[in-house]
Structure 1
Amino acid sequence: MQVTETLNEGLKRGYAITVTAAELESKVSEKLAEAQPEIEMKGFRKGKVPMPLLKKQFGQRLMGEAMQESIDGAMSKHFEDSGDRPALQPEVKMTNEDWKEGDDVEVALSYEALPAIPEVDLKSISLEKLVVKASEADIEEALGNLAETAQDYEARKKGTKAQDGDQIVMDFVGKVDGEAFEGGSAEDYPLVLGSNSFIPGFEEQLIGVKAEEEKVVTVNFPEDYQADQLAGKEAVFDCTIKEVKKPVAAKLDDELAKKFGAEDLAALKTQIGERLEAEYSGAARAVMKRALLDELDKMVSFDLPPSLVDAEAGQIAHQLWHDENPDVEGHDHPEIETTEEHKKLAERRVRLGLLLADLGQKSEVEVSDAEMTQAIMNQARQYPGQERQFFEFVQQNQQMQQQLRAPLFEDKVVDYIFELADISDKEANKDDLQKAVEAMEDE
């Protein structure tokens, strides 16, 4: 077997691999000799089939296996000897397409090698960590928001007309063709106007009603209504309005706290403070991570595989196009061209990705099975009722597993760097943190 270099330009590599006919013949004979003791054939005892007959029967099929194994072996040895790591799947092409048995096999191997990553003095990196405590004002604001979600209603003055957002309490009887239909009647039913919980057009006709008023509402059931006997039919509802109520925020008291699983209002405030500080800590980490990546980007410079940069630039352009055209869900759209801006961002991402991967490998960072399982479960929650199917899909899909593992690995490498870097705490408030986050997102 002969391997000859044909291209060595930057990170691009090319090699011509020749596997001689004699090598292939020897490998086929070796495979036949290995299998011979177990082969049975009519007219011969087990293991006694003559080699020429075996070769005639199985030689052609084994020749294909021998060719593939020889080429794979040559590639593996080349990467082991050279130390090269291909950026993407190497391209392997047979160059003597008119090959016939008895000829040498000639193959062209080409790839882009991953670059050598320079050493980085991680201890020389200085970072600032924003430390934000939950103020009393922050807690009160969050508590007020909770109270709004637990919204209550109180009766309006007698004679006040119902507005959009008000709750009316009513009795109603619905009829189709003069006959009351099943499920079309209720007593003391609370309906929030504007909630769109009734048939289209129903709630709008109740705007302006008053307590103790009777109102006839006429609507048409949608053509695709789930009850076939009502689909597309006109319905008349005789409504008796009992109360008109306006929305009011729930009172900030122990009863509200109990609705959210706390013993009392003081305990709820403590829980809110802890949750807010956890959110602030997460945002501060994101800001510090961006600062770290900016520092690393300044510290290193090395050649980048063009194929990786082009692929990343294409993905960036594609994602940005879909962000600007949210109505287009599929990929049936014009070809998206990459710009210099896309390429510049792609170069940064590829450079940092290769650097973090190298640092993670050298520091033996690994994503555990438990961490992967937790990540899959977190993702599965986005598909209520189909969690098991999603879990099984991920287990059988290597690409999906890599998509989930990659951010976990990156965060663990970042945490490793944080341990070595010089980090100083800086006290800040919520507004400072918000500005830092917005500045990061605008870049």
Structure 2
Amino acid sequence: MQVTETLNEGLKRGYTITVTADELAAKVDEKLVEAQPEIEMKGFRKGKVPMALLKKQFGQRLLGEAMQDAVDGAMNKHFEDSGDRPAAQPDVKMTNEDWKEGDDVVVSLNYEALPKIDAPDYSSIALEKLVVKADDAAVQEALENLAKNAQNFDDKDGAAEDGDQITMDFVGKIDGEAFEGGTAEDFPLVLGSGQFIPGFEEQLVGVKAGEEKAVTVSFPADYGAEHLAGKEAVFDCTIKAVKAPAEAVIDDELAKQFGAESLEALKTQITERLEAEYAQASRAVLKRGLLDALDTAVNFDLPPSLVEAESKQIAHQLWHDSQEDVDQNDHSHGEIETTEESDKLAVRRVKLGLLLAEIGQKAEVEVTDQEMTQAVIAQARQYPGQERAFFEFIQKNPQMQQQLRAPIFEDKVVDHIIEQITVTEKEVGKDDLQKAIEDLENEA
């Protein structure tokens, strides 16, 4: 077997692999010898079929398998000896297409090698970690928002106003006929909430308990239910009660509505939740700072094919971001041309991706089964009622598994690096952290 180099340019590599006819025949014989003890044939005892007969009977069938094994073996030995790691699936082609039994097999092997990456000098990286404490004003603001969400209503005399809650029965009709989904009893509706289609709630302002009101509206042309879209409907409404918003009281009773034993216990929960949110935002800022520092600290050649593929993906995403009316999964627009912006982002992403992968590999960072399970559970919650189907989908889809594993791996590598660098805590206000997050998003 002979391996000859044909290309060595940057990270591009090319080789010709030649498997001689004798080597191929030996591979076939090897497979026949291995299988002989288990083969039965009429006129012979099990394992006693002559090799010549086996070769005549099965040799042609084993030839393709032996050829593949020989080429795979040569490739694996080449990668082991050279230390090269392909950036993507190598391009392997048989060059003598007119090959016939008895000829040598000649295969071309082309790929882009992953670059050799040296770890950065961690001692030169120093970052600030923003620390925000939940102050009384932030806790009070959160309490007031909870009180609004737990809005109670008291019976009132007189006409309903915006913000009041009415309780009603209604029957919706189109051309005098009630339609499916247009009927309800004891339905609570806060006027001005936008819960119903435009024009509905406005016509109920001024109604009183005990009144009947016919509300005429037109369903939007793009309404989700096709049998109603663009049609005019009349809702016969019977008003049973009118209630005004009760003053929100922040006390132990409010706390109990949210599962806390007392107001003080609720304040503690809010403080912990806010500081967890601040910590998560602070980590995002710290991570961006680290990635920026790593981007500056290291430099190595990048596989062109990886950069090109990443740039195409970024260009596609940027195009969709600018086309709000086009579904993200709609690919009918064809290929999107890459831009200077997408190329620049692609270089950064590929560079940092390869660097973090190399650091993680050397540090033996692994994603545990438990971490993967937690990630799958978190994703499954987005599909209520279909959790089992989602789990089965993930189990059968290695690509989706990798999509879930990749961000976990990256975060664990980031944590590993943060332990190696100098990080100084800096206590700041909530507004300062918010500005840092906004700056981070504007730079994305």
**How far did 1:12 drift?**
0.2
Matched, 1:252 2:245: no
Structure 2 CA distance for aligned equivalents of residues 123 and 68 of structure 1: 49
Matched, 1:331 2:337: no
Structure 2 CA distance for aligned equivalents of residues 45 and 376 of structure 1: 54
**Residue 76 of structure 2: aligned partner:** 76
**Residue 122 of structure 1: aligned partner:** 122
Structure 2 CA distance for aligned equivalents of residues 387 and 375 of structure 1: 13
* Counterpart AA for 2:45: R
**Residue 306 of structure 1: aligned partner:** 304
Judge which range, 338-347 or 18-27, deviates more: 338-347
Q: Partner of 1:119: helix, strand, or coil?
A: coil
Q: Partner of 1:420: helix, strand, or coil?
A: coil
**Residue 275 of structure 1: aligned partner:** 273
**Alpha-carbon spacing, 1:337–1:99, altered in 2? closer, same or farther (3 Å):** same
CA RMSD of aligned residues (A): 3.0
Structure 2 CA distance for aligned equivalents of residues 199 and 129 of structure 1: 47
**Residue 111 of structure 2: aligned partner:** 111
**How far did 1:166 drift?**
2.7
Long gaps (5+) in structure 2: none
**Alpha-carbon spacing, 1:27–1:212, altered in 2? closer, same or farther (3 Å):** closer
**Residue 62 of structure 1: aligned partner:** 62
**Alpha-carbon spacing, 1:180–1:301, altered in 2? closer, same or farther (3 Å):** closer
Percent of aligned pairs sharing the same letter: 71
**Alpha-carbon spacing, 1:200–1:57, altered in 2? closer, same or farther (3 Å):** farther
Judge which range, 51-60 or 61-70, deviates more: 51-60
CA deviation digits over 1:104-130, x for unaligned, max 9? 000000000000102322133111011
**How far did 1:153 drift?**
2.4
* Counterpart AA for 1:323: D
Contact 1:375–1:404 (Cα < 8 Å) also in 2: yes
**Alpha-carbon spacing, 1:172–1:391, altered in 2? closer, same or farther (3 Å):** closer
**Residue 362 of structure 1: aligned partner:** 362
CA deviation digits over 1:79-126, x for unaligned, max 9? 000000000010000000010100000000000000010232213311
**Alpha-carbon spacing, 1:318–1:45, altered in 2? closer, same or farther (3 Å):** same
Structure 2 CA distance for aligned equivalents of residues 182 and 442 of structure 1: 47
**Alpha-carbon spacing, 1:211–1:47, altered in 2? closer, same or farther (3 Å):** closer
Structure 1 CA distance for aligned equivalents of residues 302 and 263 of structure 2: 57
Structure 2 CA distance for aligned equivalents of residues 174 and 314 of structure 1: 50
**How far did 1:74 drift?**
0.3
Alignment of structure 1 residues 169-318 onto 2, 5 Å: 169-170=167-168, 189-194=187-192, 203-217=201-215, 237=236, 239=238, 241-247=239-245, 250-318=248-316
* Counterpart AA for 1:162: E
Structure 1 CA distance for aligned equivalents of residues 197 and 321 of structure 2: 34
Structure 2 CA distance for aligned equivalents of residues 341 and 348 of structure 1: 11
Contact 2:120–2:297 (Cα < 8 Å) also in 1: yes
Judge which range, 165-174 or 81-90, deviates more: 165-174
**How far did 1:389 drift?**
1.6
**Alpha-carbon spacing, 1:174–1:294, altered in 2? closer, same or farther (3 Å):** closer
Structure 1 CA distance for aligned equivalents of residues 385 and 249 of structure 2: 36
**Residue 134 of structure 1: aligned partner:** 134
**Residue 378 of structure 1: aligned partner:** 378
Q: Partner of 1:304: helix, strand, or coil?
A: coil
Structure 1 CA distance for aligned equivalents of residues 308 and 182 of structure 2: 61
Structure 2 CA distance for aligned equivalents of residues 178 and 409 of structure 1: 61
**Alpha-carbon spacing, 1:415–1:177, altered in 2? closer, same or farther (3 Å):** closer
Structure 2 CA distance for aligned equivalents of residues 380 and 439 of structure 1: 32
TM-score with structure 2 setting the length: 0.90
**Residue 391 of structure 1: aligned partner:** 391
Long gaps (5+) in structure 1: none
**Residue 22 of structure 2: aligned partner:** 22
Contact 1:148–1:249 (Cα < 8 Å) also in 2: no
**Residue 439 of structure 1: aligned partner:** 439
* Counterpart AA for 1:59: G
**Alpha-carbon spacing, 1:95–1:173, altered in 2? closer, same or farther (3 Å):** closer
Q: Partner of 1:310: helix, strand, or coil?
A: helix
Q: Partner of 2:206: helix, strand, or coil?
A: coil
Matched, 1:353 2:353: yes
Contact 1:150–1:249 (Cα < 8 Å) also in 2: no
**Residue 94 of structure 1: aligned partner:** 94
Number of aligned positions between the proteins: 436
Structure 2 CA distance for aligned equivalents of residues 321 and 31 of structure 1: 54
Structure 1 CA distance for aligned equivalents of residues 234 and 210 of structure 2: 22
**Alpha-carbon spacing, 1:248–1:305, altered in 2? closer, same or farther (3 Å):** farther
Structure 1 CA distance for aligned equivalents of residues 175 and 62 of structure 2: 80
Structure 2 CA distance for aligned equivalents of residues 123 and 87 of structure 1: 30
TM-score with structure 1 setting the length: 0.90
* Counterpart AA for 2:273: R
Contact 2:252–2:262 (Cα < 8 Å) also in 1: yes
**Alpha-carbon spacing, 1:326–1:200, altered in 2? closer, same or farther (3 Å):** closer
Contact 2:216–2:232 (Cα < 8 Å) also in 1: no
**Residue 401 of structure 2: aligned partner:** 401
Structure 2 CA distance for aligned equivalents of residues 179 and 326 of structure 1: 37
Contact 1:162–1:168 (Cα < 8 Å) also in 2: no
**Alpha-carbon spacing, 1:302–1:44, altered in 2? closer, same or farther (3 Å):** same
